[in-house]
Every structure is written in structure tokens, then in C-alpha cells.
Chains A and B, each alone.
Chain A
Amino acid sequence: MIKSILLHGAVIALLIVLEPVLSEYHHGNLARILVLATYAVGYNILFGYTGLLSLGHAMFFAAGMYGCALMVRLAEWSVGPAFLFGVVCALVAGLVVGMLALRTIGVGFMIVTLMFAEAAHLTIAYYNEYTRGDEGFTIPQAVRTVAGLDLSDTTTRYFAALVLFSVCLIGSAALVQSRAGRVLVAIRENEDRVRMLGFNPFRYKLLALVLSAVMAGAAGAAYAVLFGYAGSTFASVQYSIFPLLWVLLGGPGTTLGPLLGTVLMFYLVDYASGTVMPGLAAFVEGSFGIEAPGLASAYLLLVGIALVLLVLFAPRGVLGVVRARVMPWLP
């Protein structure tokens, strides 16, 4: 327990210390990563700890994002109440979807969550008069303030993202250590056995899904507020797959895995799309005289290879391997 508290404290302290020393480029990246890692922390509660694989989590991220951004844009709310409204939207979405989707298991649950998310995505596109569809809309810099703090300022934005991430990380760690957390892990291990020990799995799975949705919604609302943009891309299936990949890479069922996975994946995509694939395209053109304009943007090829290697050689993710081999106490 003490080791766990120290480790989480050290990670948060490291993120604080990094702020003034990061270059402008990495500073902006890390702020974005912290928001997305918050999303992944929420996803990990459902997938990593409870064993439920959702393919529709983008709807919760989008519920938070649009719940917040539309209130600012259309109702002219200030960002504080709008942020809370976004979180409430995600909570309600989690409750409604959970009540229905949790009546299915396994592949059925994946399909039902995917269908709900697609319906949400299409709804956002259909009401493009308000949502502006794929094009999205921006939130003016002037209104992105809370308690006198300018959230568009890079330092304020970084620390706001860090506060949100830290709250969710500590909440996630506390949940895992709690009695309810133990039942969630037990459900992942053997749901029937949990039932035979006198627990109602549905109730606990609903709790996990709602908590997960709330964190996803908080991340979506924070993204809108901190980066001043909302768009339907964030409701697409791609944004349901991302948190799964981040968690898989970092280590499902580890509290810090989502952060590590998000960092690694973010920079893998960044490096592949900015350096490796354009370089490969230039090499092919220079050596063989073949123009390959598509190659420069085919960075997902490299990401795919990395994921195949991960699944083959480290299916428990990076921190899952660390826990199995070096640090068995890792939460």
C-alpha cells in the first residue's frame, strides 16, 4: 500500500517537475496526453479491471465534450458549469447504455456498445446545424477561463490537465484497493463464481461502466475546454479503439498502464507519421524511382506492426510484464 502511494506520488511529482523544462512542442503534447490518459484511466476500470471490452467508449468522451462545448457555444454558459454538465451527460449516457448493454456478455457487449456509439456518432453528424459535424467548432479563447485562470495559457492548461489526470488516477487506485474494486477484479476472473459468493455482478459492472463513462466524459469536456475544439471525429469508432490500444500497450489492470500506453502510442504515431514513413517514402522514390505518396501517410502500418509484436510477446502490456517479473505489488 505504502509503495503504491509513493509510486503514484512520484509519477505526479515527475509530471509537475517536467512542466517548466519541457520544450514548447512536448509541453503541448504532454497536456494533450494527460487528457487522453484520463480517458484511458476510465477505460481501464471497465476493461482492465472488470474485463468488459467496450467498443463504444467514444460516445462517453463525446457526451462530455459536446455536453460541455454546446453549453458554452449555444447557452453561453461559463466553462466551469459547462464542464460539470458535460460530465453529467456522460454519467447519464453511461447509466442508460449500461442498463441495456450489460444484459449482454462477451462479443454481444462489444457489438451493442459499438452500435450505441455509432448511433451517437450519426446523431452528432445529423444535427450538424448545432454540432458542425466533422468540421466541428472552436470555443473562443476569451471564454475559456475559470476562476480568473486563462485555460488557453499553456502552463495553466498543462496543470489543469494534470489535476484532472491526478484526480482520476488516484480515484482509480483507490477504487482498485477498495472492496468494490476487489469484486470488479473477481468478476473479471470468474463472474459465475462471484455470483455464487453472493454478489450481484450486474450492479458492480454497472458501477464500473458508469465510473468509466464519467472519466471519459470528464476527459472529453476537458479536451473541449483546454484545447477549444469539439468535433465529431472524437465520437468515431477510432476514438473507441484508441483507449483500448493505449491500455493494452501500457498494461490492462495496472493503474499507471493507461498513462504509459498513451505516452508510448502518442509518440509512436508522432514518430512514425513525422519521420519514419516520410523517410521510407523518400528512400523508395530515391532508390527505385517509384513515387509512393501514400507511404508517407501510412503511419498506421508501423503502429499495427508494433501492436502485433505487443500481442505476441507481451500480451499483458508493458506494466503487466513489469508486474509479473519485477514488481508484483504494482497496483
Chain B
Amino acid sequence: MLTLKDVDAYYGNVQVLRGMALQARAGEILCLLGRNGAGKTTTLKTIMGLVRAQTGTITLDGEDITALPAHSVPVRGIGYVPQGRRLFAEMTVAENLEIGLMTRGRGRDVRERMLDLFPVLRDRLKQVSGTLSGGEQQMLAMARALCLEPRVLLLDEPTEGLQPSMIALIRDVVTQLKGGDTAVILVEQRVEAVLSVADRVLFIENGAPRETVDAATLRADPALVQRYVGVG
């Protein structure tokens, strides 16, 4: 389980997280919802050590990872798929996957599982990843992060800018992670996407956690979305 307690973070002198707190449990999908600039992406970056938590603690299965250097966080079992995919554009699909496998010393069996999960990548192994479609790039970014066999997977707007068929594919894969050993923290702007996959939703406002509700509560009370996201 990943736990954040009273985490404050800053960009220079500007405070961007104020007492951030959340719990992500194995087999569960926790969605972060909030307006633009609310602190959703910063929360993920703080977990990854890319933005330093000034106060508070971040623990993974009881181990304090708050002060770990950024490159040590994935080795502990946290995978991150940032906004915009960030592939190694000149490397092939196979090479991108290999880099992911190397992080935690995973082998061919994990690679095969990823290719079963994203069959379209199997046909593209030798293709330079920068030439893939947006949806295929997103699948590769997710497959590469899953090659770590992460205990926690952080997804930052994975369906942004994708066509509906690709969104459905990505959603299916995320849904398949439910009930497994991986906790998923999903940042998503599209409320209907959140409702279709989330177990719980954490609303964030001005860098602070406001309310955590389960998906059923959110469906029954659209005013919550109106209050924190401004759409309904």
C-alpha cells in the first residue's frame, strides 16, 4: 500500500501541495480529480521523487520512501506513465520494453505478458517508437511501466488526445489491473472515464485533498464533480 501523509511540496517558493494525503491499495484504482492546476500531476511527481516533499511522509508497504532519490523510486516498485508518454522516440518498441525490464531485472516471461496485454505491440517490435500512433505510443508507455511489475502504477491522463477506440483499449487494460497485486493511481480529466474504472475518487483542490468517495457515491451525487471540477 502507498500512503501519503501531510505532504507539502513547492515549486521554488510557491507551495503546490498542502497537506496532501492519500492511500492506494493493491488491486484498487484510485482516481485523482480536480481542476487544472489543482496539484494532481504534482502529487504523482512528488511520489516519484521528481518534486521533493518538504514535509510529511510517503511510505510504500511501510517503507519510508520520502527522501529517496528519483531513480531509486521505480526500483522499489512504483511505475510512472507521465503525461505525453515520453518514449525513447528513436529506439524500437523492443528496446523500449527492454529498458523497462532492466529496471527490476525482469525477463522474457514478463515481456510476453506485456505483449499479450497489448497485442498490437507484438507486430511492431522492430518499429521505431516515434513512428507509432498516439494510442500505440500510450500502450507502449504503459507496457514499459508494467515491465517493472510495479506494486503501484501511476498513470497521468493516459487517454488524453486519443481516439475513442484507443481509449476503450486503454480502459480495458486498466480495468484488468483491478483485483491484482498492483495499486493504480489514475489522474484523469474526463469524468465518464473516471466513473467507468475507478474504485475510489480523491478530489484535490488548490494542492490539498478535499474528499475521498467511492465510485457509486460519485455516480449518485454529480454535484460533487460540479463542486470540485466545475463540470457535471
Q: Which residues on A are within 8 Å of B, measured CB to CB? A: 179, 182-183, 185-186, 189-190, 192-201
Contact = CB atoms under 8 A, between A and B. Distances in A.
Interface string B87-104: 111110001001110111
B82 interface: yes
> Looking at A186, A196, A199, which has the most chain B CB atoms within 10 Å of its CB?
A196
Contacts of B98: 179, 182
Interface in B184-220: none
> Looking at A190, A197, A199, A201, which has the most chain B CB atoms within 10 Å of its CB?
A197
Contacts of B87: 193
A202 to B, nearest CB: 9
Contact of A190 (B48, B70, B71, B86): B86
B91 A196 contact: no
Contacts of B70: 195-196
Contacts of B80: 196
> Looking at B71, B80, B87, B104, which has the most chain A CB atoms within 10 Å of its CB?
B71
B71 A189 contact: no
B67 interface: no
Interface of B: 48, 50, 69-75, 80, 82, 86-91, 95, 98-100, 102-104, 144, 148
Contacts of A194: 71, 99
Contacts of A197: 74, 99-100, 103, 144, 148
Interface SS of chain A: helix, strand, loop or mixed? helix
Nearest to A201: B71
A179 B100 CA distance: 11
A183 B89 CA distance: 14
A279 to B, nearest CB: 43
12 contacts: A179-B102, A182-B102, A185-B90, A193-B82, A193-B86, A196-B70, A196-B82, A197-B100, A197-B144, A197-B148, A198-B71, A198-B148
A189 B88 CA distance: 6
A47 B30 CA distance: 43
Counting from the closest, the 8 A-B pairs by CB-CB distance are: A198-B74, A198-B103, A189-B88, A198-B75, A200-B71, A193-B86, A195-B71, A195-B70
Contacts of A185: 88, 90-91, 95
A321 to B, nearest CB: 15
Contacts of B102: 179, 182-183, 199
B99 A196 contact: no
A25 B82 CA distance: 58
Contact of A199 (B71, B86, B89): B71
Contacts of A193: 82, 86-88
A189 B129 CA distance: 12
A199 B100 CA distance: 10
A186 B88 contact: yes
Contacts of B82: 193, 196
B232 to A, nearest CB: 34
Given A183-B102, A192-B86, 18 more contacts: A182-B91, A182-B99, A183-B99, A185-B88, A185-B91, A186-B99, A190-B86, A192-B50, A193-B88, A195-B71, A196-B80, A197-B74, A197-B100, A197-B103, A198-B71, A198-B72, A198-B73, A198-B75
Contact of A198 (B86, B91, B104): B104
